[in-house]
A = this chain, B = another copy of it.
Amino acid sequence: MSDRHSLSALMILKLGSLFTLSDEETQALHDLPIQAIDLKSNRDIVRIGDSSLQCFLILEGYASSYKLTPDGQRQIMALHIPGDIPDLQSLYLKRMDCSIASLSPCTVGFFQVEELRRVCARHPRIAAAFWRDTLVDASILREWVVNVGRRDAYTRIAHLLCEFLVRLEAVGLVQGGTFDFPITQANLADATGISAVHMSRALKALRDNGLIQTRRRYLSVPDWQKLQEAGEFDPLYLHLEDNVAAGLLRTSQLETAAL
């Protein structure tokens, strides 16, 4: 499983923005006690209405934030990948306003919100980095609204896949345009606000057009340019350009980052 080191590397990768963290700051993150837990697929990790004293970092696998409507429909409004802290909002909001569930077998690291609050109080630059992280998440949500509100199914799915690929790439989880993709069509449908049946048809169209290839639990993008165009994808909203750590990673391909 994941040791302290890779955990800290993931965090620093995600946070490293605006400035590089000092050794002391890195150490502070290192020293944050974490309890690693393994989870099966499709398990709620936190539920809407909860007011937990803990937060969790995804170490391995994917998760989603979702809500249910009264008639039982589901909408996923965020996908979470290794390095994400999906419920970081618990830092300053009393109750969860959505549920978070694993989309695949997951390893997550729980820590005390209070401890993180202390780290933030002692290290303003770490606080700023986490704050920035929540601002990027908000930006992703804004694009998600555009996706669901104004794009047709085909474009919408292409866009979602573009975003997912770029975010995975930033944490070193893409090899040659291929990445782990165990997410069911039903879940993808809930993420894009379409029906599962239509998701099947639209994915077929994407496959037929050579934009994606699905082999087992993996997804490949043979022509990145074409998929971007199909998805009307512009990565501006991911705010990667001003992320120091991610930039360093991309150029040097640090081994430590691959979980």
Chain A interface residues (CB < 8 Å from chain B):
17-18, 48-49, 65, 67, 69-70, 73-75, 77-78, 89, 91-95, 97-98, 121, 124, 127-128, 131-132, 134-139, 141-146, 148-151, 192-193, 232, 236-237, 239, 241-242
Contact = CB atoms under 8 A, between A and B. Distances in A.
B142 A65 contact: yes
Given A91-B131, A92-B132, A145-B148, 19 more contacts: A17-B92, A67-B146, A69-B150, A69-B232, A70-B232, A77-B141, A77-B142, A92-B135, A94-B241, A97-B139, A97-B143, A121-B124, A124-B124, A124-B127, A134-B135, A141-B141, A141-B145, A145-B145, A149-B193
A227 B94 CA distance: 27
Q: Determine how many copies of this chain the complex contains.
A: 2
Given A134-B131, A148-B148, A139 B94 contact: no
Nearest to A194: B149
A210 to B, nearest CB: 21
A116 B179 CA distance: 41
